């Protein structure tokens, strides 16, 4: 049986906390940051890294979302509700970002040995179970039908989804990203995405089958665990957990020597988004 915790028990980790500093910036910058870290870690220019990140109110659309027949009207509705939207050039469907959602990227290297996709998911599942010992094995991974951005590694407690996992692979680096609904109402966020699909489809048949959103199947960790829990609390938990897993945790942001690479990936992400919006 594979010991997934062994992928986390490393001699050295780097921890980049952008849970406050990234809030007012575009979420596109976070996709560029993870691409940069994949490159740095995959090419041995940085040790494996955990990055925590939060953005103000935004709806991140997937490529299929942008093909909705009435996407313009749907995006206008989101904008009026206080949620401007962007399009990411990767798999997955729409998600909501706000100050109560914490994203954690776990960036590992395949330089010495390959890490298959299912292993990447299981390593993040292990990390989340260690992060919330009060829930532990209650946290299950399977698709929650009726949730937004559904996938086989939706994380749930008692059938209610609080997180989803995705992966980005580049230059022998892997960013396993988890979307954690920490604070507030998971159902309210789901209502916003339900509106996106209702307005975007307006009853039309499409080749791609969009999810039928049921807000009652989504909840925040605060709601599920029944304890006061903030994004800041979870960031501190993540730092503490890494210190248990490794003797050496460096708390640092991007270095000056890494900024040229970051600028390259940011420009690439911005260009792709511009093309998508055309």
Residues catalogued as catalytic: 149
Find tokens 């990390």 and name the residue: 127
User: 118: part of which helix (H) or strand (E)?
Assistant: helix 117-131
Q: In what order do the strands lie in the sheet containing 140-141?
A: 140-141, 154-157, 160-170, 173-181, 101-109, 49-53, 12-18, 248-251
Give whole-number Cα distances, 155 to 96, 102, 109, 206, in Å: 16, 14, 24, 28
Closest alpha carbon to 99 in 15, 238, 220 = 220
Find tokens 């890294």 and name the residue: 49
> CA–CA separation, 125 vs 131, rounded Å?
10
Parallel, antiparallel or unpaired: strands 95-97 and 85-87: unpaired
32-48 burial: b if 16+ Cβ within 10 Å, else e: bbbbbbbbbbbeeebbb
Entry field: residues in the chain: 278
> CA–CA separation, 17 vs 264, rounded Å?
21
């Amino acid at each position: 049986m594979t010991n997934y915790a062994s992928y986390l028990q490393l001699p050295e980790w780097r921890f980049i906390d952008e849970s406050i500093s990234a809030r007012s910036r575009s979420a596109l910058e976070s996709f560029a940051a993870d691409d940069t870290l994949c490159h740095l870690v995959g090419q041995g220019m940085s040790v494996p890294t955990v990055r925590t990140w939060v953005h103000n109110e935004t709806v991140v659309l997937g490529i299929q979302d942008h093909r909705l027949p009435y996407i313009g009207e749907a995006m206008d509705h989101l904008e009026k509700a206080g949620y401007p939207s962007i399009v990411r050039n990767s798999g997955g469907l729409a998600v909501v970002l706000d100050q109560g959602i914490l994203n954690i990227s776990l960036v590992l290297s395949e330089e010495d040995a390959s890490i298959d996709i299912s292993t990447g998911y299981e390593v993040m599942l292990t990390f989340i179970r260690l992060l919330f010992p009060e829930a532990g094995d209650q946290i299950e991974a399977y698709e929650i039908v009726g949730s937004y951005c559904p996938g086989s590694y939706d994380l749930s407690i008692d059938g209610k989804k609080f997180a989803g996992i995705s992966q980005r692979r580049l230059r022998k680096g892997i960013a396993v990203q988890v979307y954690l609904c920490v604070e507030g109402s998971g159902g309210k966020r789901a209502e916003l995405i339900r509106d996106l699909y209702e307005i975007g489809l307006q009853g039309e048949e499409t080749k791609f089958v969009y999810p039928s959103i049921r807000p009652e199947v989504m909840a925040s960790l605060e709601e599920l665990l029944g304890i006061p829990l903030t994004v800041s609390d979870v960031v501190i938990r993540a730092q503490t957990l890494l210190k248990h897993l490794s003797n050496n945790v460096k708390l640092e942001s991007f270095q000056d020597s890494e900024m040229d690479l970051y600028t390259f990936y940011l420009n690439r992400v911005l260009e792709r988004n511009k093309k998508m919006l055309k």
